[in-house]
A and B are shown apart, each in its own frame.
Chain A
Amino acid sequence: MDMFFHAAMLALDPWAIGAVGLGTLVGLIFGSIPGLTFTVALALALPITFSMDSVPAIGLLLGTYIGGMTGGSVSAILLGIPGTPSAAATVLDGYPMTKKGEASIALGTAVIASVFGGMFSLIVMIVSVNLVSKLAIGFGPAEIFALVVFGLSTICGLCGGSMLKGLISGVLGLMIMTVGLDQMEGVPRMTFGSVNLLQGVNLLVAMIGLFAVPFIIEACSGHMETKHKRMVRVRAELPSIRLLLGRFWLMLRCSVLGTGIGAIPGTGGAIASFLAYDHARRTSKTKESFGKGELDGVIAPEAANNAVTGGTLIPLLSLGIPGDPATAIVLAGLMIHGITPGPALFMNHATEVYGMYVAVAVAYVWVLGLQLLGIRLFVHVLKIPRDLLAIGVLVLCVIGAWSVRNSVFDIYAMAAIGGLAYLFIALEVPITPIILGMVLGPTIENEFRTAMMLSGGSWDIIFTSPLAMIFLGLAALIIVLQAISELRVRRSNQQKVNA
């Protein structure tokens, strides 16, 4: 306990609180600007921490990480362009809410759900880090493969009207990610001898293209003088307490889900938020309102993707495994301050670990304060004429796509994927499955191949694992349920027409 107080003193030092606050602010800014992502923010923050003391340094990085994860929802809700892949599910209902003029309610709810999810996962992490990390070790390649298949099965629920077209676009997402150098065998795939294609399509770049470019094309498709259309009327109104209390259980369930998924090495925020969205839709009494601005559809992914932050720190700290590029940078920050993650971390660096717990809590307090203030400012973005806004978005997206890998190839890829996405939207093909396929594709392939290598080519490694079979069973269940409900909708439509 003494140690905890000592750590709390370190972490609650004004400098440390300031460092966390600065990180949170930078993370929020990067997360909320379309095109820029918090991975870039973390990469920038890392060198600054070199010369800092360990607790404020890690506080800065954690603040950036948490701020970025939360900020991703801002542009997702306001412009329909997710700031991080984890916020892609938030677009589905958050953006329609903006169109209905409820942007500030969606934003406010998103922040509160995020903070709830984050704090929940922090508590789980503090209480059960050892237990959870033991369980996480049980997730080998076969189990992770099955879990990701389960995540992929939520594509069925994202297809809007046509399951067939949704599946096609999901498969396209999976295909795009196979281009480039295959890590496992060191073989180039579909690169046509080009060095630039060796690096493959970057997920963040593709995400920017998918969501931002159609927005830009649509906004820049008319004469400026003739239609100075603004999006909607703007109100800065926050959600009421009653609205939130009524959704407490949903928030809690999604937080549990997010924490659990975050704790499994090699998964991450996107899969958690899509599973949570699917869960919310499936358990909702008003299924048909999803996709048209349902508040539950904002709460679920936001609670889940922030719950991932605490969850993902479990394997990071106890096993030294970063869940995604962003946490990999947090890991580098820990290493350079001599805090080597792994089983011995809690023996050697208990003070720093407790300091981190406090820093995460402080970061969420900052997030809450900054965002509730920020919402009042953010919504004014909607007052900017849409065509001029689109030009700004375009420049930001190009800066963002460039900053990921400093490669022109990424800009071309963004343009190509964006043009394609525009066509898909015009042809009424849902594009969310593409991003889901892209997020999960590499994991699904690599884990499957590793599993098969481990077993010497035998499928038994999957069929004899109870965990893997449970997840595959759940995936099958989702697909069957979806097929049934689609048939039912079709039949009732048929009847309407006949009647």
Chain B
Amino acid sequence: MTDRHKDLIFGGLLLGLGLTWTGLVWSTIPPAFDAYSIGPRAFPLTLGFILVGLCMVLLVHRAAREHDNSGTDVPAETDTALSRRIMWLPLALITVEICAYGFLLDKIGFLLATPLVILAILALNLRCGKPKVLVGMALGVTVGCWLIFDKLMGIHLASGSWINLG
């Protein structure tokens, strides 16, 4: 995938987002109540228009360069030098794991949810089969965090609504 393709996909997706946003803002947020205030809708609506506009400029700009050598593009700098290939599987796994972590925190509390999620990451993402690492990480991180944050610092860690180990 060349940079130009990436930009076209990015621009296209965000254009869709911008249009959806603008439509939703228009239909769900009421305009100003009084003549003298600009109301809750103006700002998000303007942002929607700006996003749509910017995306269109991006798309036109990149589409117009169809026959250009992609080397003429200014080499973009990224914030961090992550590998440029999108790794869909880790992305999906981690996102789902964090969400599951949140859900479990609410239901079974920090002390049970944390080792489960750590085991899931070790097993699914890192394919780790060493029992020592699995058990060590799951228990070590959980107990360490619990001791430091809950017992020493007094941060309120989540206690579950289904099972509560306190």
Residues of B within 8 A of A (CB): 3, 6-7, 9-10, 14, 21, 24-25, 28-30, 32-33, 35-40, 43-44, 47-48, 50-51, 54-55, 57-58, 61, 69, 71-87, 89-91, 93-95, 98-99, 101-103, 105-106, 110, 114, 117-118, 121-122, 125-128, 133, 137, 141-142, 145, 149, 153-158
Contacts and interface: CB of A to CB of B under 8 A. Distances in A.
Contacts of A394: 94, 98, 101, 117, 121
A414 B50 CA distance: 25
A426 B51 CA distance: 20
A95 B80 CA distance: 8
Given A224-B127, A391-B141, A403-B156, A164 B58 contact: yes
A185 B85 CA distance: 44
A220 B125 contact: yes
A408 B118 contact: no
B126 A387 contact: yes
Given A185-B40, A453-B36, A190 B141 contact: no
Nearest to B47: A175
Contacts of B6: 427-428
Contact of B126 (A167, A178, A187, A224): A224
A217 B87 contact: yes
Contacts of A216: 94
28 contacts: A160-B78, A161-B74, A161-B76, A168-B14, A175-B47, A175-B48, A189-B28, A190-B24, A190-B44, A217-B91, A223-B127, A225-B127, A387-B125, A391-B118, A394-B117, A403-B156, A408-B102, A408-B106, A419-B95, A422-B82, A422-B86, A423-B91, A425-B78, A427-B6, A427-B9, A448-B43, A493-B72, A494-B72
Contacts of A80: 79-80
A352 B37 CA distance: 43
Nearest to A160: B77
B122 A415 contact: no
B125 A419 contact: no
A218 B126 CA distance: 11
Contacts of A392: 141
A496 B44 CA distance: 42
A161 B58 CA distance: 13
Most B CB within 10 A of own CB, among A216, A224, A427: A427
Interface of A: 26, 40, 44, 80, 91-92, 95, 99, 160-162, 164-165, 167-168, 171-172, 174-175, 178, 182, 184-185, 187, 189-190, 213-218, 220-225, 291-292, 387-388, 391-392, 394-396, 398-399, 402-403, 406, 408, 410-412, 414-416, 418-419, 422-423, 425-432, 445, 448-449, 452-453, 456-457, 489-490, 493-494, 497
Contacts of B84: 426, 428
Interface of A, helix, strand, loop or mixed by DSSP = helix
Contacts of A432: 79
B94 A213 contact: yes
Nearest to B146: A399
Nearest to A29: B153
Contact of A168 (B51, B78, B98): B51
Contacts of B126: 220, 222-224, 387
A328 B151 CA distance: 26
Most A CB within 10 A of own CB, among B32, B73, B98, B127: B98
B80 A497 contact: no
B54 A178 contact: no
A171 B58 CA distance: 14
A398 B110 CA distance: 10
A493 B121 CA distance: 44
A178 B44 contact: yes
